[in-house]
Amino acid sequence: MRRWVGEQRQAEKSIGFVPTMGYLHAGHLSLAHRARAENDRVVMSIFVNPTQFGAGEDYAVYPRDLDRDAALARSAGVDVLFAPAAAVIYPAGHSTYVAVEGLTEPLCGRSRPTHFRGVTTVVTILFNLVRPHRAYFGQKDAQQAIVIRRLVRDLAFDLEVVVCPIVREPDGLAMSSRNVFLRPEERQAALVLSRSLAGAQALIAAGERDAGKVLAFVRDAIGREALVRPDYIEMVDTAALAPVGAIAGEILLAVAAYVGKTRLIDNLLLEVDNI
């Protein structure tokens, strides 16, 4: 990987990087297509990162199919698929971690307190190996994208973080590798997440500026679905991920919920004027 990157940079080729945990879907491929359009070379990594899974989470059963992923990546214009073993990323005796404080504590950080330390550590390692000019992430993982932008700023990485829109199924469900775990009835129940966000967006578009009222609407809508157990439903600013009372400026309405045993996330990012 390092040798190839060195050759590309010496030839003054720009490198776009799409880090993933594999089991690719159209959301991942949209990142690859964007990277293909904006760079001379495209690298995609596939690495199910053990350090971002907590005790009792789904690391052991997380879906994996490297042959399938390789074919999909090739079809999306990826030049290099980097699928390192865990021992390459975390060699024997590994004891160094990267933590972004503050932004990693609310939202997903409450129920997954070690998750973002694992994310920021592996992303730092991958950035050092791939040395991209641009790195591509999905808006579905909104908190992750905000955390990584802060990481890149604070550690002076010489690269641009590009965040791409959520890709949804035709019925509105946000695409996720974990959707494969949903049983048919759970798959139907999971639609309440995107539908409640769409309803909240309509309320805001109609002039509602009280965050409490919009959150109450979303909580009520999700609460009516027996197979869905909310983890959090929050509206925050995008600078500090602090809760907002009045809806103004750039705001993030984020939800996480267990549908059966599967934890799903979704969000709505809006720019709202003060009028």
pLDDT digit string (tens) for 107-160? 999 999 999 999 999 999 999 999 999 999 999 999 999 999 999 999 999 999
Residue 169 lies in a domain: no
Q: Is the pLDDT of residue 214 over 70?
A: yes
Residue 172 lies in a domain: no
Cα(152)–Cα(156) distance, rounded to whole angstroms?
A: 6
pLDDT digit string (tens) for 61-86? 999 999 999 999 999 999 999 999 99
Cα(99)–Cα(82) distance, rounded to whole angstroms?
A: 24
Structure tokens at 47: 């690495």
Residues 24 and 110 in one domain: yes
Cα(271)–Cα(275) distance, rounded to whole angstroms?
A: 12
pTM: 0.97
Mean of pLDDT values over 42-58 = 97
Are residues 142 and 252 in contact, defined by beta-carbon separation less than 8 angstroms?
yes
In single-letter form, the type of residue at position 171 comes to: D
pLDDT digit string (tens) for 22-41? 999 999 999 999 999 999 99
Provide the pairing of β-strand 134-138 with 160-164: parallel
Coil, helix or strand for 214? helix
H/E element, 200? helix 191-205
Give the residue numbers annotated as catalytic, written as ranges. Answer: 28
Residues 188 and 248 in one domain: yes
What domain count does the chain have?
Answer: 2
Are residues 40 and 78 in contact, defined by beta-carbon separation less than 8 angstroms?
no
Residue 170 lies in a domain: no
Percent of the chain with pLDDT over 90: 99
Residues 108 and 86 in one domain: yes
Q: Which domain holds residue 206?
A: 177-272
